[in-house]
Amino acid sequence: MNEIICPHCDKAFKVDETGYANILKQVRGREFEKEIHERLERAEKDKDSALKIAKQESANAIQKSMGEKDIEIERYKSLIREKESSVNSTVEQAVRPIEKSLVEKDIEIESLKFLVREKDNSVNSAVEQALRPIEKDRDNLKNKLESANLEKKVLENSLKDKYETQIRDRDDAIERLKDMKAKLSTKMVGETLEQHCEIEFNRLRSSAFQTAYFEKDNDSRMGSKGDYIFKDHDKNNTEIISIMFEMKNESDFTATKSKNEDFLKELDRDRNEKGCEYAVLVSLLESESELYNTGIVDVFHRYPKMYVIRPQFFIPIITLLRNAAMHSLTYKTQLAQVREQNIDITNFETELDKFKTTFGKNYDLASRKFQVAVDQIDKSINSLQKTKDALLSADKNLRIANDKSKDVTIKRLTRNNPTMAEKFAELHDD
């Protein structure tokens, strides 16, 4: 319950919450609306007065600004008029000489165009006159070129036909050779090489090898045999040199290709069994090998006194070994005589071995020089001078060996050998 005091009688009365709220609402509503209305009226009046004052002030400011702008515009207008007059005068002064110059240039251009037309006409006529003989020469050259091309084609066709014919003939020859090789067995090819070597030797037998023995080795009692044995003797039947030869070749169509190395061991055994001093393998195996195609190849590192050669070096190797052995023939003769008399030759053989060693060094040196010479011959004809030098060097070493052999005497051989000295003294006394 709320208590309300009447403002007129000062009497208090009580009302409930609802009644109090309604009274308060009525009182507040009327007072609030009245106060709002008054405030709105005052605000409207203030707004109107403020608008009037603002309008007046704006009008005054605008009026003042317009006056200032008009003054400024007039000032700029006068400046523009002054600038326009100044620019016009300057432009007129600048344009006058330019217009005059343009007129002069136009006149000059017209005159130059006229001159150019005249020059073009004269140049064209001169060019035409100059081109007439050139065109004529060009046509002549063109005709000559066409005829040359025609002759070239005819010549090319003839050469082509000629070489095609030669190529066909060569191919036919190659096919015939291949067919012939295909029909030959490995044994037949080997026998063909043997026949070649035998023919080459017999061709020179009567002139260079009159006392030589060169026959096939038919003695197979030891289980194997070589192809040929070469031996040479002097007039006293003292052996100068002996060589065991083996010839090896195979067909190009053989399935398994052999190597020279495969036959060296058997050749060395045959040489020792037949008592030959040297062994030589004449081979066409390994036809692409640069080592064997260079000439005479010594294989002393594998087997002593053994060589591998191509067929073209068959006669040169015999000549080389025979000539080298001729220098030691005297000593071989003396050695044979001493052996027949049963003389103690222990120190004699030592001295002889020393001589053989020295001689072998000179011989090896000569052989290497000869190898160099043969290599140079095979490589190029232009290296004949080098070959000559190598051969001369080989000859020099052989002369040195010969000189050393001449220096060997019985006195030197029996030095420090009482037995030999005593025997030779007895022979001298007798």
- Domain limits of the chain? 2-85, 186-316, 327-430
Work out the mean pLDDT of the chain and round it to a whole number.
77
Give the pLDDT band (50/70/90) at residue 253: very low
CA pair distance 327, 323, nearest whole angstrom: 7
Q: What are the pLDDT digits (tens) for 229-243?
A: 999 988 877 788 999
Tokens of 144: 């000559």
Q: What are the pLDDT digits (tens) for 285-337?
A: 888 888 888 889 999 889 999 999 999 899 999 999 988 888 777 776 677 67
DSSP letter for 286, please: S
Task: Tell me whether strands 306-309 and 278-283 are parallel, antiparallel or unpaired.
Answer: parallel
Least confident of 80-94, 160-174, 287-301, 338-352: 338-352
Residue from 264, 284, 262 nearest 272 by CA: 264
pLDDT recorded at residue 299: 92
Residue from 330, 297, 404, 316 nearest 360 by CA: 404
> What phi-psi label fits residue 416: left (phi over 0), alpha (psi between -120 and 50 degrees) or beta?
left
Q: Give the DSSP per-residue string, 61-116.
A: HHHHHHHHHHHHHHHHHHHHHHHHHHHHHHHHHHHHHHHHHHHHHHHHHHHHHHHH
pLDDT recorded at residue 26: 66
CA pair distance 41, 43, nearest whole angstrom: 5
Q: What are the pLDDT digits (tens) for 82-101?
A: 877 777 777 677 667 777 77
Q: What are the pLDDT digits (tens) for 276-288?
A: 999 999 998 888 8
Q: Which long-range contacts (CB under 8 A, 24 or more apart) does 223-230 make?
A: 224/266, 224/269, 224/270, 224/273, 225/270, 226/267, 226/270, 226/271, 226/274, 227/194, 228/194, 228/197, 228/198, 229/274, 229/276, 230/201, 230/318
